[in-house]
Structure 1
Amino acid sequence: MNIHPTAVVHPKAVLADDVEVGAYSVVGEHVRIGAGTRVLSHVCIDGWTDIGERCELHPFVSVGGPPQHMQYKGEPTKVVIGHDNILREYVTVNRATVQGGGVTSIGDSNFLMAYVHVAHDCHLGNHLILANAASLAGHITIGDHAIIGGLSGIHQFVRIGAYAMVGGCCALGQDLPPFMRAAGGYRARMYGLNSIGLRRHGFSSERIAALKKSYEVLFRSGHRVAEAVKLARESFSASPDVMQVAAFMEGTKRGICRSVGKEQEGEEE
């Protein structure tokens, strides 16, 4: 291990042999850190925290602090972070609550830019980008390959589907289905498919076309959510992507982010 003389690492912490801990960093008693991970200077890792392999934690990152929750009474809840993640300066990741399941989790290959906040009981997937100062309230779930724009705030219990995109300076208060994009500042609205993102991830023209057609049924038909989902399931049963959107919508508890009219959408071709 490469531990700077000014770092404070609890003797009961479990660190792989090649972990690097920089100057003035603090690693707590119940922390586990995997091979190849670099903890740079002035980082605080506390609580019951597991960090995977080949991660990078930049100066003033704080991981494993207690949840910002009035009912938390010091229970041994956890943060679990996977492999190949980058946490830039001043990122904060809080432990979970007992009421929320006991684990705040971050998957693999995510990029959390400066000042990102991940609150208690959040569950982040893989290959995410959270831009500078994106803030997640408690109990948020984000699917794989999603992007959250800088200075955006996500309301507690909101779900964001895979391959979705939330624009910068958004306040998102309801669920954003997979493959969609939201923008608009206060009370963000859905602006059609994240078409550019889907193309960048290798989605074929046929897959994107099916999603665009289903969008009309799901969000512009004037039906209630349950009726629109039923119609989409009947009309697009051959599309796994549409079925994924339908299943996501069926699981909503906060409601689905409202779609703007076509004249406002400015959808990419």
Structure 2
Amino acid sequence: MSVDSTARIHPSAVVEPGAVIGAGCQIGPFALIGPEVVLGAGVVVKSHAVVTGWTSVGDDTVIFPFACVGEVPQDLKFKGERTRLVVGARCRIREGATLNTGTEGGGGLTQIGDDCLLMTGAHIGHDAIVGNRVILANQVAIAGHCQIGDDVIVGGLSGIHQWVRVGRGAIIGAVTMVTNDVLPYGLVQGPRGELDGLNLVGLKRRGVERADITAMRAGYQMLAQGEGSFLERARRLQDETESAYVREMCDFILSQSDRSFLTPK
């Protein structure tokens, strides 16, 4: 066990031999830190939280009471193989959230980026890859093998089906089930997850230029109403556009996926 001299550990906390506790960490009462856990500088693990498994947590992340970080996957194929969970810096993992390690068949790694907010009861399943600045509202469930891009927001009580990709900057409304890929900057809402336009509010908040937003809106209309199949429209749009944002949308659509796409109405 390696505990930095500046770390503060409550006497009732359990830090198992082999754990690495970084500078300035705070571990609250009745928290459990497993033997293969590495906590970066300034990590706070509040009372009754569990951090276990082969797990690393980035600097200044805060793990709130009763969160469970690094437990084994909820997958009947899992046979105890050694797989990882990596959590980025400055994340907020709120009460009751659960984050699982990966599986051998899924690449062996579950990864969460920097500056994420995982609200009460949020779940991230095995082998999911979550980008930076992602917000999961209360009770959101991200199934195994999902890929969630940077700056995605998922509304409360929503679920993302296994193997689904959600592109950068997309927003998912509350109480929504998403069963197919969501293009970057898409807006999805409704009980069975329909693509209902672009996340224009998010684009404006991030300071995207008006010309790019106009190009994206035109590109979206072409994807919705142009000639040919959805993939054929995406290929044609990719060849014609000069906007990096539109090209990103097209590249996402044309890349390899295990699911089909939510397509524009």
**Aligned letter for 2:159?**
G
Matched, 1:128 2:134: yes
Find 2:249's aligned residue among 222, 231, 245: 245
2:58 paired residue number: 52
Give the match's secondary structure for 1:99: helix
1:217 paired residue number: 222
Matched, 1:231 2:257: no
Matched, 1:2 2:8: yes
Q: CA separation in 2, counterparts of 1:202 and 1:235?
A: 24
TM-score normalised to structure 2 length? 0.96
TM-score normalised to structure 1 length? 0.94
Matched, 1:197 2:229: no
Percent identical among aligned pairs is: 38
**Aligned letter for 1:133?**
Q
2:4 paired residue number: none
1:24 paired residue number: 30
1:89 paired residue number: 95
Give the match's secondary structure for 1:192: strand
Following TM superposition, by how much is the alpha carbon of 1:222 offset from its aligned partner in structure 2, in angstroms? 4.9
| Between 251-260 and 40-49, the greater mean CA deviation after superposition | 251-260
Give the match's secondary structure for 1:182: strand
| Between 21-30 and 10-19, the greater mean CA deviation after superposition | 10-19
Aligned alpha-carbon RMSD (Å): 0.9
After superposing on structure 2, the runs of 4+ consecutive aligned residues of structure 1 that deviate more than 2 Å are: none
Q: CA separation in 2, counterparts of 1:206 and 1:117?
A: 37
Structure 1: gaps (5+ residues): 261-269
Structure 2: gaps (5+ residues): 1-6
**Aligned letter for 1:199?**
K
Is the CA contact (8 Å cut-off) linking 1:77 and 1:97 kept in structure 2? yes
1:157 paired residue number: 163
**Aligned letter for 2:238?**
R
Is the CA contact (8 Å cut-off) linking 2:220 and 2:264 kept in structure 1? no
2:41 paired residue number: 35
Give the match's secondary structure for 1:50: strand
Following TM superposition, by how much is the alpha carbon of 1:243 offset from its aligned partner in structure 2, in angstroms? 0.9
Q: CA separation in 1, counterparts of 2:137 and 2:50?
A: 21
Q: CA separation in 2, counterparts of 1:247 and 1:258?
A: 15
Aligned length: 258
Q: CA separation in 2, counterparts of 1:17 and 1:108?
A: 19
